[in-house]
């Protein structure tokens, strides 16, 4: 009888004030694609880090191919044949793709072989990536491809994927699924963490569901519905989103004939970009990661101030060369795609992270003195309103799960009552209940008169949230398209730049 590839028996892990894993057991067979499902903070990532040797359990047994083992480090995990793609990437920005991959491989491998291996593996699995590009020039979606290729180069016997499709387009997801099924056919076991229930039902053979650190069920996802999986995960079905059509009011954000050369050697040039977002509407931008989204958002947010002043207008004021602070003063708030490092500082508390983007009177007093009581009250309000699982306003950012941090960052900007809100990947890595809540808050903000621009690679999200859609391809922006009259097929075609002769909405 074939031994299980991996068995966990009674795994328990405690942190100060948190029981992350409570006597968790899990069995994965060779060639099995096994989902681990749970809401944000349910203990999924902690459990995966135990398997990968990044965290030591307080109790329990890990068995590998039937024999008990102690995996004391990621190096030991890789020696067993375990590879992991983290939700928060572990790449060095100043190194190239190939140099980053080399760091995780056997020391006998040279850089030339790694470059060739990346090209071969990327071509084999349809994961487009240039091994010579510096990582700091890559978008989030491109960095995810690097992590996946790096894991595939180790020829793993167990591959752990933590939210692998969070910033992938539907076509890229289909290609990834083909890759994973081919891997499983070779006997490689796959542990697949995702909040996308339709993906789990389409891909996985079995599913272990965690709730509050404990196993709440082990099921065959092909025999479950999205509703039944939601009930196992959060105890209820996510609330239905009510999206009433909106025509919008006055133009709040206008981008006109924006042309910018890339600031970096591998960046994307923006060419004659034109965009309008009206008060009381949600506009969306769809596109494959790495087609100019990063450059456009930098120009809109003020990180890149090279544009002509009139190329970007905010509530009628030319701001193309203005700083982010000036734009915030007019009413623009921004949620970047990178949570750690840009959206929040890991070593600072949730309360202190408010200071990154907030300077209202509730937070700052005369001469810039911080109102500590007001600061803590704002943080507590965001934690409560958005259901952030944290120990309180003084909890360090690094103590939160990825999904809970995303809820806090989005909540921080919504709570500021912006007149224009720009969000990149707003529900990346959050569970179905939290995603529904964030989307409902965005629509409520729209209904209150805010102009909202959402950049996302999640088709379902864009079609659920937006009133009008643009598509970006190779630094060019399509004409706007009324979402109610759009189809995923049409948007997919436009993502290749095929919109010549299209009529605007």
| Pick from 288, 319, 281: nearest CA to 301 | 319
pLDDT 10s digits, 116-166: 999 998 887 777 789 999 998 887 778 878 888 888 888 899 999 988 877
Answer whether 258's CB lies under 8 Å from 311's CB: yes
Sign of CA dihedral 45, 48, 54, 58: positive
Res 215 pLDDT > 80: yes
Confidence of residue 1 (pLDDT cuts 50, 70, 90): very low
Mean pLDDT, residues 41-53 taken together: 91
| Pick from 40, 57, 37, 19: nearest CA to 400 | 40
What pLDDT shows up at residue 333? 97
Pairwise pLDDT comparison (382 vs 103), residue with the higher score: 382
Pick the most confident of 171-175, 386-390, 419-423: 419-423
Residue 387 CB contacts under 8 Å (≥ 6 apart), including other chains: 407, 434, 437
Confidence of residue 255 (pLDDT cuts 50, 70, 90): very high
Beta bridge pairs of residue 64: 6, 67
Tokens matching residue 234: 């959060």
Domains and CATH numbers, the chain: 6-234 (3.40.50.300), 239-331+418-505 (3.40.50.300), 346-414 (no CATH)
pLDDT 10s digits, 429-466: 787 888 888 999 999 999 999 999 999 988 888 999 99
3-state secondary structure of 351: helix
pLDDT 10s digits, 203-214: 999 999 999 899
pTM above 0.85, yes or no: no
Give, rounded to a whole angstrom, the gap between the first and last alpha carbons of the chain. Answer: 62
- Average per-residue pLDDT for the chain: 90
Answer whether 288's CB lies under 8 Å from 169's CB: yes
pLDDT 10s digits, 290-323: 899 999 999 999 999 999 999 999 999 999 999 9
* Element spanning 438, H or E: helix 432-447
pLDDT 10s digits, 472-492: 999 999 999 999 999 988 998
Q: How far apart are CA 273 and CA 264, in angstroms?
A: 19
């Amino acid at each position: 009888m074939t031994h299980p590839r991996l068995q966990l028996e009674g795994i328990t892990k405690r942190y100060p004030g948190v029981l992350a894993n409570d006597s968790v057991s899990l069995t994965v067979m060779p060639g099995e694609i096994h989902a681990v499902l749970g809401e944000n903070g349910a203990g999924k990532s902690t459990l995966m880090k135990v398997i990968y040797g990044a965290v030591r359990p307080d109790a329990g047994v890990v068995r590998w191919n039937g024999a008990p083992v102690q995996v004391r480090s990621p190096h030991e995990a890789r020696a067993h044949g375990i590879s992991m793609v983290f939700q928060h990437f572990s790449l060095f920005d100043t190194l190239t793709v190939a140099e980053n991959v080399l760091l995780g491989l056997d020391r006998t491998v040279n850089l030339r072989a790694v470059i060739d291996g990346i090209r071969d593996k990327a071509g084999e699995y349809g994961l487009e990536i240039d091994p010579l590009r510096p990582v700091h020039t890559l978008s989030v979606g491109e960095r995810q491809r690097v992590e996946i290729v790096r894991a595939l180069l180790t020829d793993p016997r167990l591959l752990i994927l933590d939210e692998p499709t969070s910033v992938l387009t539907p076509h890229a997801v289909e290609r990834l699924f083909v890759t994973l099924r081919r891997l499983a056919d070779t006997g490689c076991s796959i542990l697949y963490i995702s909040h996308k229930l339709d993906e789990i039902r389409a891909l996985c053979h079995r599913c272990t569901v965690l709730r509050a650190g404990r196993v709440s069920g082990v099921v065959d996802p092909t025999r479950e519905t999205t509703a039944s999986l939601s009930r196992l995960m959060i105890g209820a079905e996510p609330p239905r989103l009510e999206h009433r059509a909106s025509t919008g009011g006055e133009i709040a954000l206008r981008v006109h004939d924006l042309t910018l050369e890339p600031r970096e050697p591998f960046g994307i040039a923006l060419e004659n970009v034109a965009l309008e977002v009206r008060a009381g509407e949600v506009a969306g931008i769809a596109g494959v990661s790495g087609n100019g989204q990063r450059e456009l958002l930098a120009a809109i947010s003020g990180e890149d101030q090279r544009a002509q002043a009139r190329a970007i207008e905010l509530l009628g004021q030319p701001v193309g060369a203005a700083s982010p602070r000036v734009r915030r003063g007019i009413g623009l708030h921004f949620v970047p795609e990178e949570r750690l490092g840009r959206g929040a500082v890991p070593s600072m508390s949730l309360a202190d992270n408010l200071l990154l983007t907030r300077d209202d009177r509730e937070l700052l007093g005369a001469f810039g003195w911080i109102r500590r009581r007001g600061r803590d009250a704002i943080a507590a309000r965001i934690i409560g309103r958005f259901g952030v699982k944290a120990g309180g306003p003084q909890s360090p950012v690094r103590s939160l799960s990825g999904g809970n941090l995303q809820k806090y960052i989005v909540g921080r900007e919504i709570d500021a009552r912006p007149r224009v809100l720009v969000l990149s990947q707003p529900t990346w890595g959050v569970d179905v209940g939290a995603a529904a809540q964030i989307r409902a808050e965005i629509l409520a903000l729209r209904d209150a008169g805010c102009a909202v621009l959402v950049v996302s690679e999640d088709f379902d999200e864009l079609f659920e949230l937006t009133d009008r859609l643009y598509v970006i391809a190779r630094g060019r922006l399509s004409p706007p398209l009324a979402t109610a009259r759009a189809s995923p097929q049409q948007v997919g075609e436009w993502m290749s730049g095929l919109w010549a002769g299209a009529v605007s909405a």
